[in-house]
């Protein structure tokens, strides 16, 4: 779509020519995230600070375009994909980091890449604990917007537990800060409302994060099983034993085989399921906890137990786990990665149902699971150029969500709702729940200027419904 000339001129006056792109190639490149939905972009902006973000918000409003914030575009739910022609605010140039070593905190720009923050604080013995598998690419702004998790969030908690304050630009172009340096700031906890709001309340421009000391000792182990149910029973018993491992991840056989072909980590490819467990903390505790996990695994028939002998082997094990999505590229050009949660003790049933759904739809499915907290990631592998294939994949995905909810779980563990799960929200929220969320959103952004059409389905608010029937009328 050709960008409105006046809009682009106004944006360039505010940001400079190099801060705005609006050629068809740019519009196409930024019209998608790592999910499967594409939207329509009018102009792509690259502000350097909160004042420039505020200017873009006001200019877009004057020209009647909504705003969609975007970090690295690694989101898997279509959160950064415009549901209608929009101006994009890409935060990648907002990458300042100011560390307060004494207080173990840092003010960071939203465009800072997750892993870069931990690299920059490594010499201080500190790191940022939430570690999405996409951490080499995704931004902290995206992590805040999605309240992202990662393998080590089992023990450490997800992003919201590591954010003390958030600065953001609201729909009126105002720069606000919510939260603060105190562990329990006074007033309403608006910070935890902004974290996880998927860009619907404003554009995050600075984040005060907690930095976590690197543990003095760590042990990482890999356990192989000839039955998925043995691996699942091990997970349940480890958690029931009172140990909270730093991470407890699971991959099924198709996933292990794909990863092994990709990273050559000498993974046990004959196993039906592999667990990757990590414990960290003080040396004595780590040794004792590792012993418990290994003996629980053996009791449940582990066919192989491998303890990482050194940091090189530990990193290789993690490389294998964190390459799980990249490994798919050798098998098919596309994948649809799902993210649902089930109660941990229903893992075997859930996997059996996922395999049955895939068989029924003649699809290849591979599973990587944050097993410690019951967060499933079935990946449906396909070729989107085959007519009708994407529709089949999407229908399988809906069945997986419905099954997860039926087993007592929910529709998203960490990737968010975005556009892709928006219409499934009513499976877990009543009309009253959705209305409350819509009212909260409108308290910040009455006219839905930010990420319109994402997260909440149409009609969540009687106001939406009324407006589509008769402007302003309550229906
Ligand atoms: C290979 C792979 C592995 C992944 N592994 C994990 C994982 O282990 N755990 C996990 O939780 N996720 C994972 N993800 C999903 C994704 O990486 C995370 O959701 C991540 O936080 C998105 O960051 P991003 O910078 O790419 O955000 P984007 O995709 O650009 O945006 C995501 C959402 O955040 C909003 N947003 C971005 N920046 C801002 C801002 N400054 N202000 C307001 N809103 C903003 C967008 O509007 C959108 O709604 C994975 C994705 C891939 C491709």
With the most atoms of ligand 1 within 8 angstroms of its CB, the residue from 80, 109, 249 to mutate is: 80
Query: How far apart are alpha carbons 251 and 257 in whole angstroms?
Result: 10
The pLDDT value given to residue 329: 85
Q: How remote is the CA of residue 421 from the centroid of ligand 1, in Å?
A: 15
Q: Where are the domains of the chain?
A: 5-90, 97-213, 217-322, 332-424, 430-450+458-469
Q: Which CATH number fits domain 5-90: 2.10.109.10, 3.30.43.10, 3.40.50.1820, 3.40.1170.20?
A: 3.30.43.10
CA of 416 to the centre of ligand 1 (A): 9
Q: What pLDDT shows up at residue 186? A: 85
Considering the four listed CATH numbers 3.30.9.10, 3.30.465.10, 3.40.630.30, 1.10.3720.10, the one that applies to the domain covering 97-213 is 3.30.465.10
Tens of pLDDT, residues 330-386: 899 999 988 999 998 899 999 999 999 999 999 999 999 999 999 999 999 999 999
Alpha helices in 16-113 (DSSP H): 24-29, 50-63
Please give the CATH number for the structural domain made up of 332-424.
3.30.70.2740
pLDDT at position 467 is 43
> Which residue's alpha carbon is nearest to atom 44 within ligand 1?
199
- Residues touching ligand 1 (Cβ under 6 Å) are 33-34, 68-76, 79-80, 91, 110, 132-134, 138-139, 141-143, 145-146, 148-150, 198-199, 203-204, 325, 414-415, 418, 451
The CA-CA-CA angle for residues 250, 252, 254, to 5°, reads 145
Average pLDDT of span 236-264: 94
Q: Residue whose CA is closest, atom 9 of ligand 1? A: 132
Strands 67-70 and 273-281, bridge-based pairing = unpaired
Q: Measure Cα distances from 138 to 51, 74, 153, 362, 405 in Å.
A: 23, 6, 16, 32, 28
Q: Who's near 141: CB < 8 A, 6+ residues apart? A: 69, 71, 91, 94, 109, 110, 111, 204, 207
| Ordered alpha helix ranges (H), 170-282 | 191-194, 228-240, 253-263
Q: What is the pLDDT of residue 470?
A: 40
CATH for 217-322 is 3.30.70.2190
- DSSP assignment letter at 215: P
Q: Say how many Å lie between the CA of residue 306 and the centre of ligand 1.
A: 33
How many other β-carbons are positioned within 10 Å of the β-carbon of residue 125?
A: 14
Top mutation candidate among 48, 56, 146 for ligand 1, by most atoms within 8 Å of CB: 146
The protein residue with its alpha carbon nearest to ligand 1, atom 13, reads 132
Phi, psi torsion values for 168, nearest 5 degrees: -150, 160
- Going by C-beta distance under 8 Å and a sequence separation of 6 or more, which residues neighbour residue 275? 222, 223, 225, 231, 234, 235, 248, 249, 250, 297, 371
Q: What digits encode the pLDDT tens for the residues 124-163?
A: 999 999 999 999 999 999 999 999 999 999 999 999 999 9
């Amino acid at each position: 779509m050709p960008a409105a000339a006046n809009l682009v001129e106004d944006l360039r006056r505010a940001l400079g020519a190099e801060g705005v792109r609006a050629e068809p190639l740019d519009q196409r490149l930024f019209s998608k995230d790592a999910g499967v939905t594409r939207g329509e972009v009018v102009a792509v902006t690259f502000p350097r600070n909160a004042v420039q973000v505020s200017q873009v918000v006001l200019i877009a409003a004057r020209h009647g375009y909504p705003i969609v914030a975007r970090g690295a575009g690694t989101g898997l739910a279509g959160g950064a994909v415009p549901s209608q022609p929009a101006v994009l605010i890409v935060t990648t140039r907002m990458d300042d980091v100011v560390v307060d070593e004494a207080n173990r905190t840092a003010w960071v720009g939203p465009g800072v890449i997750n892993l870069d923050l931990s690299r920059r604080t490594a010499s201080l013995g500190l790191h940022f604990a939430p570690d999405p598998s996409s951490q080499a690419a995704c931004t902290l702004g995206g992590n805040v917007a999605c309240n992202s998790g990662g393998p080590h969030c089992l023990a450490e908690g997800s992003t919201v537990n590591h954010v003390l304050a958030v600065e953001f630009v609201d729909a009126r172009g105002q720069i606000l800060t919510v939260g603060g340096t105190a562990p329990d700031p006074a007033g309403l906890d608006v910070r935890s409302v902004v974290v996880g709001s998927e860009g619907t309340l404003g554009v995050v421009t600075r984040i005060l994060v907690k930095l976590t000391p690197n543990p003095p000792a760590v042990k990482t182990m890999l356990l192989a099983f000839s039955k998925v149910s043995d691996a699942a029973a091990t997970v349940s018993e480890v958690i029931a034993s009172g140990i909270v491992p730093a991470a407890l991840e699971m991959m099924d056989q198709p996933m292990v085989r794909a990863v092994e072909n990709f990273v050559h980590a000498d993974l046990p490819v004959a196993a039906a399921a592999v667990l990757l467990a990590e414990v960290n903390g003080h040396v004595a505790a780590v040794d004792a906890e590792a012993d418990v996990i290994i003996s629980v695994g053996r009791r449940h028939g582990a066919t192989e137990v491998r303890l990482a002998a050194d940091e090189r082997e530990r990193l290789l094990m993690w490389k294998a786990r964190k390459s799980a999505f990249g490994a798919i590229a050798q098998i098919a050009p596309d994948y649809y990665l799902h993210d649902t949660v089930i109660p941990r003790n229903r893992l075997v049933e859930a996997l059996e149902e996922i395999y049955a759904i895939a068989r029924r739809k003649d699809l290849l499915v591979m599973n990587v699971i944050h097993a410690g907290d019951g967060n499933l990631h079935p990946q449906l592998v396909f070729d989107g150029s085959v007519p009708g294939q994407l529709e089949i994949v999407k229908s399988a995905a809906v069945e997986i969500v419905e099954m997860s909810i039926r087993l007592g779980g929910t529709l998203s563990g960490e990737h968010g709702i975005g556009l892709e799960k928006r219409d499934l929200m009513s499976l877990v929220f009543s009309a009253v729940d959705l209305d409350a969320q819509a009212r909260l959103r409108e308290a910040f952004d009455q006219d839905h200027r930010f990420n319109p059409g994402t997260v909440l389905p149409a009609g969540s608010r009687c106001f939406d419904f009324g407006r589509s029937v008769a402007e302003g009328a309550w229906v």
